[in-house]
A and B are shown apart, each in its own frame.
Chain A
Amino acid sequence: MKQLFIKYLVTVSYFLEGSTRYKRIKGFFNNLLNNDDYPYKKYFDLFMVFIILSSVIILVVDVREHVAVWLERYDFYVVTYIFIIEYLLRLWVHDDMHKVIIAQYEESQFFEKPFSLKRAFGEIFENKWAYVSSLPAIIDLVAILPSYREIRILRVFVLFRAFKMLRYSKSLVQFFEILRNKKIELYALFLLLSFFTLIASMMIYVFEGAGQNPNINSLFDAIYWAVVTVTTVGYGDITPVTHEGRFVSMLVIITGVGAMTFLTSIIVSAFGEKLPEIKRTRVLNQVAKTRDLNLVCGYGKIGQILSAKLREQGEKLLVIENDPDKVTKAELDGFQVLEADATKSETLLKLKIDTNVKSVIAVTHDDIINVFITINARSLCKEVEIIARCSERSVATKLKLAGATHLIMPEEIAGLLGAVYIGQPVAFDALQAILTRKKSARIDEVEVKIGSFLDGAKVADFDFSSNRLVLLAILKPIGREGRRVNHYVLFNPPEETDLHAGDILVVMGYTVSIADFKGRMEQSVRYQQREA
């Protein structure tokens, strides 16, 4: 019989291990309950908060007035059962029972020992107990209890339903995390205060407990008085009447004020110490769902101008800087800043470089750090665009090797601009105007959309000049490398050049003309779709 049971157990375990469906279902619940990055967890959390609030309100209203029967039923059946189901689900996803059985079974096969049910279940129980005995699980369990109306004292546990909300609120959890760091100080203060309160309550009891004070009739009254006084609350329902008692009061008050100040300072300093980390978490949360993010690594001279210009262009950006002064400056300038080291892979991984990052721009003043950032980024993601700044020529080759897509050499750019200016001041000014877009003429790029009026047409089919545009070049795609598409440039394309979807037209013209051209492109696509 036992052998049959073991055989059955092992077969089921192997079946579960091999079943992708089981794993998928379990994975789904695990994500829903425990994975903060899972998009639907948010809705689940909101739902639970709603359930908790409604049940707490029902229970509180029920204290003095009777709520409608359906509400009571809702509270008893719906809420309680949801809580129970949630509790059981959490217990279920906490670990895999079948894995323990398989491990035990394989071990017994290997050593040719009999399979011990006791050991297997012992280990399973141990794993599950680790969950059951954790604080959140206890709160969950206790929160189920108030539904049992027959015992009134259980209603106190309504409070635990409120505690349960902690689970669904990140910032509240964070608050306790912060206080936990000051455990030792808080513990010391608590010990000191308890000791002092005990002494004070005994003293007042000795001086006034024997009938001198009509309000102090027991040691409990004395302790109550001491606590109320030492916390500087001072209700005044019990006041000392003897000189000795008043003397004790004075000591308690002075100590109490000191202790409360100390407590405040502990909490404040805990937050002060954790502030950078809190900020970091907040920034990470904010950008977690941002796509096409540009990471500006380094908020030096270039970083500052660059960030401002990118914002002007409506690009999404995040400044990464590890100098606290520059972090503050960037914050004052109104940018999202992450105080972190961009040469650490952890930083870039947290920002989900694979999916969310469009470009990494390494513009610190130190060439070597820029090389490090480039290596770091490229090693984590093959496709991301990396723009790196460097001053030395020798570093340039290294940056290329490390995988930078574009190099920025400020001195070279400046020298080139100088040379162009000396050679051709008019062309230079034209170029400057186009580049900086100070005047309204500019160069822009327009992609030929699938099904648009230019898809499959020839250059001659569209009269650029009467539309006040100059077609400078066409970029034709030649193969792709992951997300990046490579192009070759066709300058001043002849009239008979074929146009296809995916080609990029580089046109020069005034803002209005370009906007008009782009609009026409969009419209023709929509028109085509409607026809289809």
Chain B
Amino acid sequence: MFDISKEKREIILFGYGKLGHRVYEMLSTYFSKITVVEQSDTLIDDAKAHGIARSFSVDYKHDQELIDLGLENKILFCAMDEMALNIFLVLSLKSMTRNSTIISFSTSAENTRKLKFIGADKVIDIYEASANRIVDIITRPAVTRVLDEIIFVDNGISLEEIEIPPNSFLEDKHLSEVDFKAFGLILVGITDREMGDDFIFVSRGIDHKFDEGDILVLLGESQDLDRFYKKLHEGVVHG
């Protein structure tokens, strides 16, 4: 999490049932500002008992109550156990906000389609994700092992995205001129602002020219990533 602005973003998690509870556990290891919202009072009591101070009981049918939560510029996570509620919620939230990211869970391809149709920014199909993982374990065990080490296991190796600041040492250099291996890093791909927000995999073989604002997706150990991040910001003229 090298981009400070992202970590600052607040998350509102809707739902603290079976699914929401687990999602909270996962999110809280990465983010600190999480608000939990539920319809059911008993579940909110649960949340309070788990030490979540910022938890509120809200009736989703009352728009004003939702608006009062302050939805703008936040990440809105819909993780209600009941799919119909998620769809309803996404629809309500979409109509109330402009600058928020709405993420919703889905339990079937049909719900995914509906959620995307009504404007969720990201839909995560719980069962498809699980099925994908099982398929990977069976068909590509080594790949899965490596990805696990990156994502699941806390061994310092991670996949991070780093934005190139203005006037950095990478400015106007070509991909072939920079030896990422010397930093102990693997460059997976780049998102180029000039070329639209398309993600370019390095392995495509384009000799990309780095500019400020490009987002590099790098794989490596935390300290190497740290070092690289600092080097990138060295000599950056502020102001």
CA of A359 to CA of B136, assembled, Å: 13
**A489 in contact with B145 given A294-B138, A302-B130, A411-B23 (CB within 8 Å):** yes
Given A414-B23, A418-B23: A305 and B143 interface contact (C-beta under 8 Å)? no
Contact B202 A470 (CB under 8 A): yes
Knowing A430-B188, A468-B205, A470-B188 are in contact, say whether A436-B132 is a contact too (CB < 8 A): yes
Cβ A408 vs Cβ B130 within 8 A:
yes
Binary CB contact string for chain A from 398 to 430 against chain B (1 if under 8 A, 0 otherwise): 000000001011111111111111111011011
B159 near A413 with CB under 8 A, answer no
Residues of A within 8 A of B79 (CB): 414, 418
Chain B stretch 37-82: residues in CB contact (< 8 A) with chain A: 75, 77, 79
Closest to B201 in A: A441
Structural contact, A423 and B204, CB atoms closer than 8 A: no
Number of interface residues of B (CB under 8 A): 73
Q: Are B201 and A487 in contact (CB under 8 A)?
A: no
Which B residues lie within 8 Å of A489 (CB)?
145-146, 149
Determine how close the nearest CB of chain A comes to the CB of B208; give it in whole angstroms.
Answer: 13
Bitwise interface map of B from 95 to 125 toward A, beta carbon under 8 Å scored 1, else 0: 0000001010101100000000000001010
Q: Does residue A172 face the partner (Cβ distance < 8 Å to B)?
A: no
- Does B199 count as interface, using CB distance less than 8 angstroms? yes
On whether A492 and B181 interact (CB within 8 A), knowing A430-B188, A510-B204, the answer reads yes
* Chain B residue, CB-CB nearest to A411: B22
Category for how many chain A residues contact B: 35 or more
Query: Do B107 and A301 touch (CB < 8 A)?
Result: yes
Q: Is B91 an interface residue (CB 8 A)?
A: no
Hey, what's the 0/1 contact readout for A455-499 against B, CB within 8 Å counting as 1?
000000000000011101101000000000001010110010000
Cβ contact of B145, chosen from A305, A429, A475, cutoff 8 A: A475
- Partner of B27 from the list A418, A472, A504 (CB cut-off 8 Å) is A418
The residues of B that contact A416 with a CB separation of less than 8 Å are 26, 151-152
Whether B25 and A415, one on each chain, are in contact in the complex, defined by CB atoms closer than 8 angstroms, is: yes
Contact A302 B201 (CB under 8 A): no
Do B130 and A410 touch across chains, with their CB atoms under 8 A apart?
yes
CB distance from B20 to the nearest CB of A (A): 9
Interface residue ranges of B134-192 to A (CB < 8 Å): 134-143, 145-147, 149, 151-152, 157, 159-161, 181, 184-189, 191
Instruction: Check A411/B189 contact, CB under 8 A, given A315-B138, A426-B161, A431-B159.
Output: no
User: In chain A between 102 and 134, which residues have their CB closer than 8 angstroms to a CB of chain B?
Assistant: none
Nearest-CB distance from A237 to chain B (Å)?
68
Pick from A294, A301, A391, A475: contact of B146, CB under 8 Å: A475
Q: A413-B130, A472-B219 are in contact. Are A487 and B6 (CB under 8 A)?
A: no
A-side contacts of B219, CB under 8 Å: 472, 491-492
Instruction: Report the minimum CB–CB distance from A450 to chain B (whole Å).
Output: 18
Docked CA distance A359–B220 (Å) = 32
When distances are taken between beta carbons in the complex, the residues of chain B under 8 Å from A222 are none
Name the residue on B nearest A314 (C-beta).
B139
A427 B159 Cβ-Cβ under 8 A: yes
Residues of B within 8 A of A309 (CB): 131-132, 135
Indicate whether A348 reaches chain B with its CB closer than 8 angstroms: no
Q: Would you call B85 an interface residue if the criterion is a C-beta within 8 Å of the partner chain's C-beta atoms?
A: no
| B139 surroundings in chain A (CB, below 8 A) | 310, 313, 315
B84 interface residue per 8 A CB criterion: no
Chain B CB count within 10 A is highest, among A306, A363, A411, A508, for A411
Cβ-closest chain B residue relative to A484: B141
In the complex, the answer to whether A305 meets B201 with C-beta atoms within 8 Å is no
Chain A residues within an 8 Å CB radius of B134: 302, 306, 361, 363, 387, 406, 408
Q: How far is the CA of A402 from the CA of B217 in the complex (A)?
A: 39
In Å, the complex CA distance between A400 and B27 comes to 24
Contact A410-B126, Cβ < 8 Å, known A302-B131, A430-B201: yes
In the complex, how many angstroms separate the beta carbon of A98 from the nearest chain B beta carbon?
A: 51
Q: For the complex, give the distance between the alpha carbons of A491 and B149 in Å.
A: 9
Do the beta carbons of A305 and B142 come within 8 Å of each other?
Answer: no
Report A-chain residues with C-beta under 8 Å of the C-beta of B221.
Answer: 491
Collect the chain A residues with CB atoms within 8 Å of residue B236's CB: none
Out of A358, A389, A444, A473, name the residue touching B138 (CB < 8 Å).
A358
Given A418-B23, A445-B143, A470-B202, does the pair A426, B135 have CB atoms closer than 8 Å? no
Which residues of B are found within 8 Å of A508, using beta-carbon distances? 188, 201, 203
Q: Which residues of A contact B36 (CB under 8 A)?
A: none
Of B31, B126, B132, B184, the residue contacting A411 (CB under 8 A) is B126
CA distance A426 to B162 in the complex (A): 10
B137 (CB) vs chain A CBs: closest residue: A406
The answer to whether B127 and A302 touch across the interface, beta carbons within 8 angstroms, is: yes
Closest chain-A Cβ to B114's Cβ sits at a distance in Å of 16
CA A495 – CA B182 in complex, angstroms?
11
B79 vs chain A, min Cβ distance (A): 8
Across the two chains, which residue of chain B brings its CB closest to A308? B131
Interface centre among A306, A410, A472 (most CB of B within 10 A): A410
Residue numbers of B with Cβ under 8 A of A are: 1, 6-7, 9, 11, 18-19, 22-27, 29-31, 75, 77, 79, 101, 103, 105, 107-108, 122, 124, 126-143, 145-147, 149, 151-152, 157, 159-161, 181, 184-189, 191, 199, 201-205, 215, 217, 219-221
What are 28 A-B pairs with beta-carbon distances under 8 A?
A294-B138, A302-B131, A309-B135, A313-B135, A313-B138, A385-B137, A406-B134, A410-B126, A412-B26, A413-B129, A414-B19, A414-B23, A414-B129, A417-B129, A419-B27, A422-B11, A430-B159, A441-B201, A441-B203, A441-B204, A443-B140, A468-B203, A469-B203, A475-B142, A491-B221, A492-B186, A495-B181, A509-B201
Binding site for B on A (CB under 8 A): 294, 301-302, 305-306, 309-310, 313, 315, 358-359, 361, 363, 385, 387, 389, 391, 406, 408-424, 426-427, 429-431, 433, 435-436, 441, 443-445, 468-470, 472-473, 475, 487, 489, 491-492, 495, 504, 506, 508-510, 513
Q: A363-B134, A415-B24, A424-B1 are in contact. List 4 more A-B contacts (CB 8 A).
A: A406-B137, A445-B143, A491-B149, A491-B219
Give me the 8 closest cross-chain CB pairs, A-B, nearest first.
A415-B26, A411-B22, A445-B142, A305-B131, A415-B23, A509-B203, A306-B131, A441-B201
